[in-house]
């Protein structure tokens, strides 16, 4: 229906499109660059040749695919067992792992938009906006300029663990 769904972020040095290189089936997703990006492209034949002749690369590819499968398994679990609030908090905590500490608080910069979070969590922007507003009212998070501050990570974790 045209709704954007984000499967994963591609970091510098990451690969994408490897499934098509392995099985030859047309891509199942699109990639959108959010900033200036340099990318290289390999034909399926060249990709398969590299995999077959470079065991270290083949092993790294297996590790990459295993990590992707584990992440997808986690997401399926989250989507099927957690309400939107908990999915949002889990997503914020995932982002917090990569974020900087500023004055003892986690600072996610730039702050993700509600639409970006919704695409990542498989929900709609309005649900994310509602939950973000509630977390802000509880003083657990705060949007400050282009940053999103997580004031109390342990309280956020407790909300995820709390039985409903």
What is 88-114 written as a DSSP string? Answer: HHHHHHHHHHHSEEETTEEEESSPPPH
Q: Delimit the domains of the chain by residue range.
A: 18-80, 82-161
pLDDT band at 62 (very low <50, low <70, confident <90, very high): very high
Quote the CA–CA distance of 41 and 47 in Å, as a whole number.
9
**In CATH, which of 1.10.10.10, 3.20.20.70, 1.20.1050.10, 3.40.50.1100 is domain 82-161?**
1.10.10.10
The first and second tokens of residue 116, run together, are 């970006």
Q: What is the CA radius of gyration of the chain?
A: 18
pLDDT at 31: 84
pLDDT band at 85 (very low <50, low <70, confident <90, very high): very high
Choice between 77 and 125, residue whose per-residue pLDDT is larger: 125
Name the residue among 117, 103, 154, 102 with its Cα closest to residue 9: 117
pLDDT at 11: 83
Which alpha helices (H) appear in 54-144, and where do they start and end?
Answer: 55-81, 84-98, 114-121, 125-137
């Amino acid at each position: 229906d045209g709704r954007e769904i984000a499967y994963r972020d591609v970091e510098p040095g990451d690969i994408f499109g490897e499934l098509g290189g392995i099985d030859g089936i047309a891509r199942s997703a699109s990639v959108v660059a959010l900033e200036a990006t340099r990318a290289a492209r390999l034909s399926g034949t060249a990709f398969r040749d590299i995999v077959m002749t470079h065991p270290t690369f083949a092993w790294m590819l297996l590790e990459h695919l295993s990590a992707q499968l584990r992440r997808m398994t986690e997401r399926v679990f989250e989507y099927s067992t957690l309400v939107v609030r908990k999915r949002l908090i889990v997503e914020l905590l995932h982002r917090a792992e990569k974020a900087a500490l500023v004055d003892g608080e986690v600072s996610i910069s730039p702050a993700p938009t509600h639409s970006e979070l919704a695409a990542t969590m498989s929900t709609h922007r309005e649900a994310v906006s509602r939950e973000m507003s509630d977390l802000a009212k509880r003083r657990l998070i705060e949007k400050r300029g282009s940053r999103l501050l997580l004031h109390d990570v342990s309280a956020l974790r407790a909300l995820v663990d709390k039985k409903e």
